[in-house]
Amino acid sequence: MHVDYIIVGLGLAGLAFTKELEEANKSFVVYEDNSQNSSIVAGGMYNPVILKRFTPVWNAIEQLKVALPFYQSLEYKFGKKYDFTIPIYRIFKSVEEQNNWFIASDNPLLANYMDADLIHKKFEGIIADFGFGKLINTGRVDTKLLLQDYRNYLSEKQLIRNQGFDYSELNISETQLNYKGVKASNIVFCEGFGLKKNPYFNYLPMQEAKGELITILAPNLAIDFALKAAVFVLPLGNDYYRVGATFNWKDKTKQPSAEGKKELLDKLNSFIEVPYKIVDHSAGIRPTVKDRRPLVGVHPKYKNISVLNGLGTRGVMIAPIAAKALYNHLEKNITLDNEISIARFQHLFLG
C-alpha cells in the first residue's frame, strides 16, 4: 500500500490536516489510539478576546476567518450542527473593570466582538453586582460530536487504524517512508501531549497544562449565553451546563481528580446560587507551548516528517489555519510564519 501521507493522531489538529488532504485529493491513512483526549473533552469555545485583560487574542481575527468556514463545511458534509454561535457574558468584579471594558470595546480589532453597552439586568441565581460585559460573534464547537462523526466517516472509508503508532517501526529514506508495510511520501505527527513520546519531536518545548471540567444539571439557571467569571459556564441545552476549566501544570494524568472538582465547585459557587447536580467530570491535557504559539513544520533532519501541534488552549480557532499553513508549506512551498514555525526552536535540536 502506498499513500501520500500518514497522519498520527486524530484530534482537532489531525482532523484539520486530514481535511486539507481530502480537499486536495491526496491519499492518506490515520493512526489513532485514544491515548489523549484534549479535543474530545474541550469546552469548544471560540472567542477572540482575552477575558482577563480585555485584549485581543493573538492572530484571532485571521484564525476565525479560516475556522468558521471550516466548521461550516463540516456541518454541510455531515448534515449536522457543530458550531453554535453564543454570546459570552463576562461578570465584572469592579467599576474599574467596567471602565476597562468600555475602553477596550473601542479597539477596532475588538469592536465587532465587544458590545460597548454594559448589561445591568438581573438573572436568577447569578451574583453580578457590577453587571456584565457582552461578547458577540463568539461560540462553541461541539468537538466531541465532530470528532466522533469524522472518525466514523474515516472508519467507513477504511482510512483510520485504531492502533498506537510505534515510532521504532518507522523506516526513513530520503524518498520514502515505510511503516509496517505502508509506504508513504510524508508523515505528519498530530499527537497533542503524545508528542512527548515522539523521538523526532520531543525536543520541542511543550509545557502541557491539564484541564478539568464538570457538567451540571441546573434547571433554575435558564441562561442562553455562556457566562464567564472565575470559570466558564457553557449552556449545552436541556438545562445542562459545562463548567471549567482548571489549569494544572504538574499533574500529567488525564484522570479527573478530587482537587480539580473542588476547585471548580468553589469557583462556581462564588457566582452561582441555584441548586445543581453534577452529572459528569472529565479531564485532558492541553498541548501548550512555552511561548504559547503552535508547533508547525518539518523535522530539521528528515524532510518528509512534519509536526502539527501546540494548539494550547485554543485548538478550535487555531487548528484550521495552522493545518492550512502546513499543507501549503509542504505542497506549495509557501514559507511558514516565524511565529508558528518550529524553526524557532532549531537551537534545541541536538541532531
Ligand X SMILES: Cc1cc2nc3c(=O)[nH]c(=O)nc-3n(C[C@H](O)[C@H](O)[C@H](O)COP(=O)(O)OP(=O)(O)OC[C@H]3O[C@@H](n4cnc5c(N)ncnc54)[C@H](O)[C@@H]3O)c2cc1C
31 binds ligand X (CB under 6 A): yes
Query: Of residues 313, 320, 325, 330, which one binds ligand X by CB under 6 A?
Result: 313
Distance between CA atoms of 188 and 31, rounded to whole angstroms?
A: 11
316 binds ligand X (CB under 6 A): yes
Span of 191-199, 265-273, 327-335, 337-345 interacting with ligand X by CB under 6 A? 191-199
Q: Which of 181, 162, 174 is nearest to 304 (CA)?
A: 174
Q: Looking at residue 2, what DSSP letter applies?
A: E
State whether residue 262 is helix, strand or coil.
Answer: helix
b/e string for 260-288 if b means 16 or more Cβ within 10 A? bbebbbebbeebbeeebeeeebbbbbbbb
- Over the window 90 to 129, marking each residue x when it contacts ligand X by CB under 6 A and - when it does not, the resulting string is ----------------------------------------
Element (H, E) at 101: helix 95-104
Q: Are 168 and 137 in contact (CB under 8 A)?
A: no
164 binds ligand X (CB under 6 A): yes
The pairing of strands 28-31 and 2-8 is: parallel
- Closest CB 310 distance from ligand X, rounded Å: 8
Span of 27-35, 48-56, 119-127, 296-304 interacting with ligand X by CB under 6 A? 27-35
211 binds ligand X (CB under 6 A): yes
284 binds ligand X (CB under 6 A): yes
17 binds ligand X (CB under 6 A): no
Query: Of residues 3, 14, 74, 272, which one binds ligand X by CB under 6 A?
Result: 14
* 3-class DSSP string for 13-69: HHHHHHHHHHHCCCCEEEECCCCCCHHHHCCCEECCEECCCCEECCCHHHHHHHHHH
Toward ligand X, which CB reaches closer, 221 or 316?
316
Number of residues that bind ligand X (CB under 6 A): 43
Query: Of residues 3, 12, 206, 227, which one binds ligand X by CB under 6 A?
Result: 12
Q: Which of 251, 248, 229 is nearest to 125 (CA)?
A: 229
- Closest CB 147 distance from ligand X, rounded Å: 8
192 binds ligand X (CB under 6 A): yes
Q: Are 185 and 177 in contact (CB under 8 A)?
A: yes
Q: Which of residues 317-346 bind ligand X (CB under 6 A)?
A: 317
- Closest CB 257 distance from ligand X, rounded Å: 12
Query: Of residues 5, 7, 18, 38, which one binds ligand X by CB under 6 A?
Result: 38
Cβ neighbour number for residue 63 with a 10 Å cutoff: 21
Span of 259-267, 296-304, 306-314, 320-328 interacting with ligand X by CB under 6 A? 306-314
Give the full edge-to-edge strand order of the sheet including 139-141: 45-46, 139-141, 83-85
- Closest CB 157 distance from ligand X, rounded Å: 18
State whether residue 165 is helix, strand or coil.
Answer: coil
Residues forming contacts to ligand X in the complex (CB under 6 A) are 8-14, 31-36, 38-39, 41-46, 164-165, 190-194, 211, 213, 244-245, 284, 286-287, 309, 311-317
